[in-house]
Chain A
Amino acid sequence: MKKLSIIFVLMVVFALALSACATPTAAPTQAPVTQETAGGDAPVIAQPKGEILIGNLQDESGGMKALSSALTYAATMKIEEVNAAGGINGRTLKLVTYDTRSDVNEAINALRRMVEQDKVPVVLGPPIANIGIAVAPIAEELKVPIVGLFMDDKCTIQENGEPWTYMFLAQDSATYQGLTMAAYAIQELGVKKVAILYNSSNSYSVGLATPFEEAILKSGGEIVAKETYTGTDKDFRAQLTKIKSANPDVIYFPSYPVEIPLIYTQAYELGIKVPMLGSNSVPPTGLAPSTDPAATTNTFYPYGINPSDPVLVDWAAAYKAKFNSPALAQSFSGADAFGIILQAIEACGDDITSVCITEKLNTMESYKGFQGTVKLSPDTHQPIGLPLAIMTIKDGAPEFVTWYTPEGPAK
Chain B
Amino acid sequence: MGVPMQFSIILQQVVNGLSLGAVYALIAVGFALIFNVLKFSNFAHGGVLGISAYAGYIAANQFKLPLIPVILVGMVTGAILAVLVELIAFRWIRLQKGQLVYFFVTSVTMLMLLEQVLIIRFGASFESYPYTLVKVRVLQFGDVTISVTYLLSLISTIIAFSGLIYVLKKTKIGIAIRAASNDLTATSLMGINVNMVIIAAFIVSGMLGGLSGVLYGISASLSPQIGQIVVKGFIASVLGGLGSLTGVAVAAVVLGVLEVFLISTIGSGLSPVVIFLLMVVFLLVRPHGFAGVSFSDKA
Give A contacts to B, CB under 8 Å.
1, 3-4, 7-8, 11-12, 14-15, 18-19, 21-22, 61-63, 65-66, 101, 200-201, 227-230, 232-235, 237-239, 241-242, 244-245, 257-258, 261-262, 265-266, 268-271, 289-292
**Is residue B196 within 8 Å, beta carbon to beta carbon, of the partner chain?**
no
> Could you tell me if B102 and A18 are in contact, using CB atoms closer than 8 angstroms?
no
> Could you tell me if A233 and B120 are in contact, using CB atoms closer than 8 angstroms?
no
Contacts of A291 in B (CB 8 A): 128, 131
Contact pick for B106, options A8, A21, A66, CB 8 Å:
A8
Contacts of B105 in A (CB 8 A): 8
A-B contact pairs, 23 of them (CB 8 A): A1-B98, A3-B96, A4-B96, A8-B105, A8-B106, A11-B106, A11-B109, A11-B113, A12-B109, A15-B112, A18-B113, A18-B120, A21-B120, A22-B124, A65-B124, A228-B267, A232-B228, A234-B220, A235-B219, A245-B5, A271-B138, A290-B221, A291-B128
> Could you tell me if A289 and B131 are in contact, using CB atoms closer than 8 angstroms?
yes
Knowing A200-B269, A238-B263, A269-B137, say if A261 contacts B116 (CB, 8 Å).
Answer: no
> Could you tell me if B93 and A4 are in contact, using CB atoms closer than 8 angstroms?
yes
Contacts of A234 in B (CB 8 A): 220-221
Q: Tell me the nearest residue of chain A to B225, going by C-beta.
A: A232
Q: Which of B114-142 contact A (CB under 8 A)?
A: 116-117, 119-120, 123-126, 128-132, 137-138, 140
A262–B222 alpha-carbon span in the complex (Å): 11
Q: Tell me the nearest residue of chain A to B1, going by C-beta.
A: A247
Contacts of A268 in B (CB 8 A): 137-138
Contact pick for A63, options B109, B120, B125, CB 8 Å:
B125
> Could you tell me if A229 and B268 are in contact, using CB atoms closer than 8 angstroms?
yes
Knowing A3-B96, A239-B263, say if A228 contacts B16 (CB, 8 Å).
Answer: no
A1–B123 alpha-carbon span in the complex (Å): 37
> Could you tell me if A241 and B131 are in contact, using CB atoms closer than 8 angstroms?
no
A241–B19 alpha-carbon span in the complex (Å): 14
> Could you tell me if B223 and A258 are in contact, using CB atoms closer than 8 angstroms?
yes
Contacts of A238 in B (CB 8 A): 13, 16-17, 259-261, 263-264, 268
A237–B106 alpha-carbon span in the complex (Å): 35
A259–B221 alpha-carbon span in the complex (Å): 9
Knowing A233-B268, A258-B223, A289-B132, say if A241 contacts B9 (CB, 8 Å).
Answer: yes
Q: Tell me the nearest residue of chain B to A12, going by C-beta.
A: B109
CB of A352 to closest CB in B, whole Å: 34
> Could you tell me if A61 and B221 are in contact, using CB atoms closer than 8 angstroms?
no
Knowing A18-B113, A61-B124, A262-B220, say if A239 contacts B268 (CB, 8 Å).
Answer: yes
Q: Which of B6-26 contact A (CB under 8 A)?
A: 6, 9, 12-13, 16-17, 19-20
> Could you tell me if B116 and A15 are in contact, using CB atoms closer than 8 angstroms?
yes
Contacts of A233 in B (CB 8 A): 268
Q: Which of B226-269 contact A (CB under 8 A)?
A: 228, 259-261, 263-264, 267-269
Q: Tell me the nearest residue of chain B to A3, going by C-beta.
A: B96
A58–B118 alpha-carbon span in the complex (Å): 21
A15–B140 alpha-carbon span in the complex (Å): 46
**Is residue B156 within 8 Å, beta carbon to beta carbon, of the partner chain?**
no
**Is residue B92 within 8 Å, beta carbon to beta carbon, of the partner chain?**
yes
**Is residue B145 within 8 Å, beta carbon to beta carbon, of the partner chain?**
yes
Centre residue among A230, A241, A244, A265 by max chain B CB count within 10 A: A241
Contacts of A12 in B (CB 8 A): 109
Q: Tell me the nearest residue of chain A to B216, going by C-beta.
A: A234
> Could you tell me if B128 and A290 are in contact, using CB atoms closer than 8 angstroms?
yes
Contacts of A242 in B (CB 8 A): 9, 264
> Could you tell me if B116 and A18 are in contact, using CB atoms closer than 8 angstroms?
yes
CB of B144 to closest CB in A, whole Å: 9
> Could you tell me if B264 and A22 are in contact, using CB atoms closer than 8 angstroms?
no
A234–B120 alpha-carbon span in the complex (Å): 23
A291–B132 alpha-carbon span in the complex (Å): 9
**Is residue B147 within 8 Å, beta carbon to beta carbon, of the partner chain?**
yes
> Could you tell me if B126 and A63 are in contact, using CB atoms closer than 8 angstroms?
yes
> Could you tell me if B130 and A290 are in contact, using CB atoms closer than 8 angstroms?
yes
Contacts of A262 in B (CB 8 A): 220-221
Q: Tell me the nearest residue of chain B to A69, going by C-beta.
A: B125
Q: Which of B72-112 contact A (CB under 8 A)?
A: 89, 92-93, 96, 98, 102, 105-106, 109, 112
A270–B145 alpha-carbon span in the complex (Å): 6
> Could you tell me if B264 and A239 are in contact, using CB atoms closer than 8 angstroms?
yes
> Could you tell me if A271 and B9 are in contact, using CB atoms closer than 8 angstroms?
no
CB of B60 to closest CB in A, whole Å: 10
> Could you tell me if A241 and B119 are in contact, using CB atoms closer than 8 angstroms?
no
A65–B122 alpha-carbon span in the complex (Å): 11
Contacts of B132 in A (CB 8 A): 289
Q: Tell me the nearest residue of chain A to B8, going by C-beta.
A: A245
Centre residue among B92, B93, B116, B269 by max chain A CB count within 10 A: B116
Centre residue among B93, B120, B125 by max chain A CB count within 10 A: B125
Centre residue among A7, A22, A66 by max chain B CB count within 10 A: A22
Q: Which 4 A-B pairs have the closest CB atoms?
A: A290-B128, A234-B220, A238-B263, A18-B116
Q: Tell me the nearest residue of chain A to B116, going by C-beta.
A: A18
> Could you tell me if B98 and A66 are in contact, using CB atoms closer than 8 angstroms?
no
Knowing A4-B96, A101-B124, A261-B128, say if A61 contacts B119 (CB, 8 Å).
Answer: yes
> Could you tell me if A61 and B123 are in contact, using CB atoms closer than 8 angstroms?
yes
Contacts of B264 in A (CB 8 A): 238-239, 241-242
A sample of 14 more A-B contacts (CB under 8 A), given A19-B116, A232-B225, A289-B131, is A11-B89, A11-B113, A12-B109, A15-B109, A15-B112, A18-B116, A61-B123, A65-B125, A239-B268, A242-B9, A244-B9, A269-B137, A269-B138, A289-B132
